[in-house]
Chains A and B, each alone.
Chain A
Amino acid sequence: MKGRIQALPIVGAIFRWRDIKPDEVRAFWRHMSERFDTTTVNKQEATEMQLVAHALDLLGILDRDRFLTHFTTTIGRRIYAPFEVGNPQGGWDLWSQVVICVHEHQHVVQHDRDGLSYEATYLTDRASRARYEAEAYRSNLEMHFWRYGTMPSTRRLAELLLDYGCRRDDVEVVAQSLALAAVSVRRGAVMNEATRAAFDWLEEHVARLRSSPVA
């Protein structure tokens, strides 16, 4: 909703006024792409994503359009974004584009750290998928706390995993790990490598947006 309003002419400028600026969002993505050697691809235009969307739709796992417009996907070092970076749109306001950038780059960290085992177990084992997503969602917690000084609902974040084919039992584990991560983050922990890289840039360029002091 906020992204849709931010995209409006004239009125949108009012809603962008206190937010991060489009050029800053682009610069942030460039920073993260250079730091982690990644490439960002328009999801709707990528043939491979069209095929995946079609397969997910046929299997009844996820609606084709929902996959292409609501989910950012990372494979290896390629990040498939369902929005044009720096252009707000429905579901993707400017700050959420920053947050998802950090989340996806934590998946790149996992790819570098665990190699083939990451991709393989993510695809074949729901508990592993839940664990990897829980780790990436920690970046969402860290970014939210940096910006607003509060924690989003860890339970609500954990329940997003139902969209990833995870079980209720997996969601319970993720909710517990995110709640414990939130305790650490409130006490000054920077848990994810991608978040550390993000904070370095944010502190230098848009410290005005910060609510809580971080290391």
Chain B
Amino acid sequence: MVTVAVRLSVVLLVFVAGCFAHCRPPDGCARTETRCVGNVAQICDANAYWTVFADCDRVSAQSGERFVCEFVDEETEEGRITGHTCTPAGEDQEGGAQ
């Protein structure tokens, strides 16, 4: 009986916690759109919510140099990539910044 109660509690907790992801209205952003909020890069997910993609302060601490959230526009092996991400502070942007 106790086991059943524990399992039910776990299931309930999972759904309550899962609710955090759904119980607010979508932000209304466009899927794959990106932005900087302070020094944090965010991306719009498939449910139209802004989600944190990279905390550039944390990246700085782990990389041994300062990174800032910036717009990038780059040609790569897989094609052109544009959006916001962490780049080394003071680095010249080849594709321009926004």
A residues touching B (Cβ–Cβ < 8 Å)?
116-117, 119-121, 123-128, 130-131, 151, 153-155, 167, 169-170, 172-173, 176-177, 179-184, 187-193, 195-196, 215
List, in ascending order, chain A residues with CB within 8 A of B8's CB: none
B14 and A184: CB pair below 8 A?
A: no
B80 to chain A, nearest CB (A): 10
B87 to A, closest residue via Cβ? A187
Listed by A's residue number, 15 A-B pairs whose Cβ atoms lie within 8 Å are A116-B13, A119-B14, A120-B16, A124-B14, A127-B21, A127-B45, A173-B31, A173-B44, A176-B32, A176-B81, A180-B83, A180-B85, A184-B86, A190-B62, A190-B64
Q: Which residues of A contact B13 (CB under 8 A)?
A: 116, 120
A185 → chain B closest CB, angstroms: 10
Dominant secondary structure at the A interface: helix
Name the contact of A123 in the complex, choosing from B14, B32, B83, B87 (C-beta under 8 A).
B14
Number of A-B contacts (CB under 8 A): 125
Give Cα A189–Cα B77 distance, bound, in whole angstroms. Answer: 19
CB neighbours of A177 from chain B (8 A):
43, 53
Question: Known interface pairs A191-B62, A215-B63. Does A127 touch B46 (Cβ–Cβ under 8 Å)?
Answer: yes
Q: Does B21 lie within 8 Å of A121, measured CB to CB?
A: yes
Within the complex, the shortest CB–CB distance from B75 to chain A, in Å, comes to: 11
Among all A-B residue pairs, the 5 with the closest Cβ atoms? A120-B17, A215-B64, A124-B18, A169-B46, A180-B85
Chain B interface residue number, banded: 35 or more
CB pair B53 A196 closer than 8 Å: no
* Contact between B59 and A191, CB atoms less than 8 A apart: yes
| A180 & B51 in contact (Cβ 8 Å cutoff) | no
Q: Are A183 and B67 in contact (CB under 8 A)?
A: no
Cα separation A93 to B47 with both chains bound (whole Å): 37
Interface string of B37-65 (1 = CB under 8 A from A): 00001011111010101100011001111
